[in-house]
Homo-oligomer: A and B are copies of this chain.
Amino acid sequence: MNRSIFTSFNKYLFIGAHPDDIEIWSGGIILRILHENKNAKVHCVVLTDGSAGYGTIEERYEEARNASKMLGVSSYEFMGFKDGSLHLNVNLPNVIANLIRKYKPEMLITHPIQDRHPDHAAVGFSTTKALFLAMVSPEFLEYEPHLCKNVIRFVSDPFQSPKSKLYIDISEVYEKKKEVILNFKSQLGVLVPYLQLNELYGRINNCTAAELFEPEVLSF
């Protein structure tokens, strides 16, 4: 029974709004999970096609597919919603509830509730509803009900520091994370400052690099 709730689960679900969100804000914890726990299944779902930023849809999907191979995740699903449109989608809580019921993760990792990017905020806000809907039995959902007892959130808006902080020491996998990120050639200008933040969080914790998350609910 004595195990880490961060790396010892059997099933993880990462949900990102865009093709590089999962990698930049949680690439390090994914690498630690897969290095420390050979039984872990890490599932990734990307909701939009990334069409509102730099690069074409095809380039972004290709970059994400390459990154997923470098990370070694178990599955990587594209939902194909239009980039920038998630805030228009009132059905999004149901979409996410179905993902939770489909993958039945022990731990869910996704965007925070408040975020300056409307797509991120839509995912974060809808996930709160989705977690509840996934465990009850509304007629309109698919799959069997599932209670996910561990949820942590990305710090995907640098101006929304979490009140509760979870630092994941990624010093040992930081070189590998940087390789993964360099793979997102169309997005490098946007992504590099977040690697600098990994180093800043590391300095605060007396280590080389760290990822910061907001723990929402943990059950040990």
Residues B140 and A85 in contact, CB atoms below 8 Å apart: yes
Interface hit among A58-66, A99-107, A129-137: A129-137
Contacting residue for A5 out of B1, B4, B128, B164, CB 8 A = B4
Number of interface residues of A (CB under 8 A): 65
- CB within 8 A of A200: which of B128, B169, B196? B196
Q: Does A188 lie at the interface of the complex (its beta carbon under 8 Å from any beta carbon of B)?
A: no
Closest to A113 in B: B163
| CB within 8 Å for A117 and B90 given contacts A4-B2, A149-B205 | no
A79 within 8 A of B: no
A74 in the interface (beta carbon within 8 A): no
Q: How long is the Cα–Cα vector from A168 to B5 in the complex, in angstroms?
A: 11
A164's contact among B87, B132, B163, by CB below 8 Å, is which?
B163
B165 near A216: Cβ-Cβ < 8 Å: yes
**Residues of chain A from 1 to 19 with CB closer than 8 A to chain B in the complex:** 1-8
Q: Is the CB of A136 within 8 A of B53?
A: yes
B87 touches A220 (CB 8 A): no
The complex places the Cα of A161 from the Cα of B121 at a distance, in Å, of 17
Partner of A51, one of B36, B85, B139, B166: B139
Inter-chain contact B51/A220, CB cutoff 8 Å: no
Q: Which residue of B lies closest to A166 (CB)?
A: B218
A4 to B116, CA, bound (A): 27
- Within 175-220 of A, Cβ neighbours of B (below 8 Å) are at 193, 196, 200, 203, 205-206, 210, 214-220
What would be 12 A-B contacts, judged by CB atoms less than 8 Å apart? A5-B5, A52-B138, A52-B139, A82-B140, A85-B138, A85-B140, A88-B93, A88-B94, A159-B161, A160-B161, A165-B218, A166-B215
The 8 A-B pairs of least Cβ separation, nearest first, read A84-B138, A164-B164, A118-B129, A159-B161, A52-B138, A167-B219, A165-B217, A166-B218
